[in-house]
Amino acid sequence: MAHTFDVIDDPLAEWIGRQHVFFVATAPSDGGHVNCSPKGLDTFAVLDPTTVAYLDLTGSGVETISHLRENGRICVMFCSFEGAPRIVRLQGTGEVLEPDHPDFAAVADRFPTYPGGRAVIRVTCERIADSCGYAVPIMSFEHDRDTLPKWAEKRGADGLVAYRAEKNAESIDGLPGLIPAG
C-alpha cells in the first residue's frame, strides 16, 4: 500500500486533520544528533497542496529550529492510531518563521493562540508518500494535554523570553537556535 502523491489533495488533507499527533524529524549535516519530536494540540495546517506549517511551541530544546537553519531538511510524519492503518510522510525543506518574519502573522493566524508560541515552521513538501502502518498499534484518543500551555501561561511573557534565552539559544550540538529578542 505504498503510494507517492504529487500534492496534498483534499482527502489526504482531511485525513491529516483527523490525526491527533504528528512527529517531526531533522538532523544536522555533520553527523550530530538526529532529532524526532512528537507534536500535538491544534498546531498543524495544510497551507496549500505542497506547503504545510506548524506552530512551534516553547520547549526544552531547539533542535528542529537549529537543524532547519543549518540545512533545511525535515520530515513530518503522521500515523493513524485509530481506524485503518496508514503512515504519511511529508519530506521537504523547512524554514523558521519567527515573530519578526514578514510571513509570520499570516501563517500564525491559521492556529489557535497558545501561550509559548515561539515560531512557525513552514515546510515545502518535496515528497509526499504513505505506507501501510500495519504494525502501528490501535489506540484511543482521550484528550489533549494542557500541561504545556499551562506551563507557558504560568511563566508569562517575560519568563518565556528568559527561558528561551537560557534553553533555546543553541542545539545540543552547539548549532544556533533562536535569535535573541531585542
Element (DSSP H or E) covering residue 157: helix 147-167
DSSP states along 97-129: E-TTSTTHHHHHTTS---TTEEEEEEEEEEEEE
Beta strand 35-39 with 22-26: parallel, antiparallel or unpaired? antiparallel
**Distance from the Cα of residue 111 to its chain's centroid:** 13
Residues in the chain: 182
Tell whether the model's pLDDT for residue 182 goes beyond 60.
Answer: no
Tell whether the model's pLDDT for residue 181 goes beyond 70.
Answer: no
Task: Give Cβ neighbours of residue 120 (< 8 Å, ≥ 6 apart).
Answer: 53, 54, 55, 56, 96, 97, 104, 107, 108, 111
Please, what is the Cα angle at 91 between 86 and 96, to 5 degrees? 125
Q: What's the pLDDT tens digit per position in 107-140?
A: 999 999 999 999 999 999 999 999 999 999 999 9
pLDDT classification of 2: cutoffs 50, 70, 90: confident
pLDDT classification of 179: cutoffs 50, 70, 90: confident
Please, what is the Cα angle at 99 between 143 and 77, to 5 degrees? 45
Amino acid letter for position 34? V
Architecture of 3-137+144-167 per CATH? Roll (2.30)
Q: What's the pLDDT tens digit per position in 49-98?
A: 999 999 999 999 999 999 999 999 999 999 999 999 999 999 999 999 99
Closest to 50 (Cα-Cα) out of 86, 6, 19: 6
Q: What's the pLDDT tens digit per position in 139-166?
A: 999 999 999 999 999 999 999 999 999 9
